[in-house]
Structure 1
């Protein structure tokens, strides 16, 4: 009887140890994170798998989990969920499961997995930098910026939606601008993609430089602004001196004169040194 109990104990112990050791065959995913720009949403993680694969499951909070067909037993370390997160204002979570590769099996009932943070596309995706064009009025008293709403990774009738299509009236633009010859800056918020700057904002005929960012006031303060555009400047009809100022011109002239003086002194010194060396070579050697 005692022998049977020992056999049962050893069998149970081996089973537990086998399960424990087998579970370590598939390492858990690490650094699971959301990366989203203009609703192009990727779930990424580490490390690259060896002798196993990954499967991604995602869901709206409180609902059943789903799988993206392109992210089942994948050997990659990213999953594009852009078109899977249909409800843009819902809160999503995702799990990355470590599983056997295709064609392989396992006795595990539950595979090791790592969960992501919560993610809401509408409030969390980064808005990329916009492009814009500058138009100066004929009388030089007005400048209009025509901002191109950035396209997104979302589609409607085979056409990509813009951020204006997604955010509607919630989308605004923040313009940061200043005179090209000055470090001073001003800002202006516009609800339109066509931004007019007039006498209240600019001086006639002066060159101004601009940066534009999408602005979503309904978001949390740290996520309201999108990426800044490339800096662009308008033309000016003022003279060189008026545009840059007397001080800047004087500094430039002084620097130019100083450079010329240094070059002349260097050339004169080199010539004198060369003549001195030539003179030494012409002196005849004395008889011993």
Structure 2
């Protein structure tokens, strides 16, 4: 009897225990901690067969610290720890659990990530400029979540690959470039070339993502760049010379273009004469008129108003008597 009771008790306990476990939420699945350009993001999938309305709490820790909360009661399926206190050389792991009301699942652990060696470095930005039969390659590093590529890694080099457009199988590579700019000079004039760049670092074993393919054409040989530069220099020199001449000889040029009307000297002397001068006093006194009166006496005929001058002249010529009197 006692043995039967023990069996029943154990059976009930087992059933009850299984019921308690089944009532717990399942843990999130596919938990993965990743890093791209030094960010630190934990991602996961929701538990299988769970209802909607789940929220999650995600935490992270380093090899020298305890777990810290990164996201709490979030409905998102990822948590970004990049805005928190992390080091570019730290070793991190994360964990997440699901919550539905008062119920919570067990923690689901993630992998470990060492930022400087495991982060995926993004692609650089490449621009090309044509300078005669050469191409100048300019490279810009990807933007990190915090710090910069050159501050985190000491040995940064670029692997530059270039080829004629449409001839990818004949691509040529230049490894180990440390400068941000490089001139490709062994090119054919009047030809379009394409360039792609990858970044290599001293501590990260993987190269960066390759840059997008950028293409640019070289100039023809007759389109020498020094010709345009010389023309521009000559034009600038002429403009500067004209400005200097205009400034130095501005007074003479303005008098030549806009001459002033000059009065005769005796007019200026008269206008500028002093009130007490003889010239001014003579100008103010009345002028005495000197004249000789003349009387013309016609004989039988007088000149009528409106007669022609010829007729009057002939009439006068026939009269010899002319008296002139002086007063």
Structure 1 Cα separation of the partners of residues 36 and 129 of structure 2? 29
Bigger radius of gyration: 2
Matches within 5 A, 1:181-260: 182-183=167-168, 184-189=170-175, 190-198=177-185, 202-205=186-189, 206-220=191-205, 223=206, 225-238=207-220
Q: Does 1:117 align with 2:117?
A: no
Secondary structure (helix, strand or coil) at the match of 2:40 reads strand
Structure 2 Cα separation of the partners of residues 179 and 13 of structure 1? 74
- When the two chains are superposed, the root-mean-square deviation of aligned CA atoms in Å is 3.0
What TM-score do the two structures reach when normalised by structure 1?
Answer: 0.63
Secondary structure (helix, strand or coil) at the match of 2:217 reads coil
Stretches of structure 2 that go unaligned for 5 or more consecutive residues are 222-327
CA contact (8 A) 2:161 2:174 kept: yes
Q: Does 1:146 align with 2:138?
A: yes
Of 13-22 and 180-189, the range deviating more from structure 2: 13-22
Secondary structure (helix, strand or coil) at the match of 1:76 reads coil
Deviations 1:139-179 (A, max 9, x none): x2x4321111221222xxxxxx4433433x33222111112
Q: Does 1:134 align with 2:128?
A: yes
Of 182-191 and 48-57, the range deviating more from structure 2: 48-57
Secondary structure (helix, strand or coil) at the match of 1:213 reads strand
The aligned counterpart of 2:66 is 64
The aligned counterpart of 1:97 is 97
Identify if the C-alpha distance between structure 1 residues 18 and 180 changes in structure 2 by more than 3 Å, giving closer, same or farther.
closer
Q: Does 1:55 align with 2:57?
A: yes
Tell me the number of residue pairs that the alignment of Structure 1 and Structure 2 aligns.
214
Stretches of structure 1 that go unaligned for 5 or more consecutive residues are 155-160, 240-288
Higher relative contact order (CA 8 A, sep 6+): 1
Secondary structure (helix, strand or coil) at the match of 1:122 reads helix
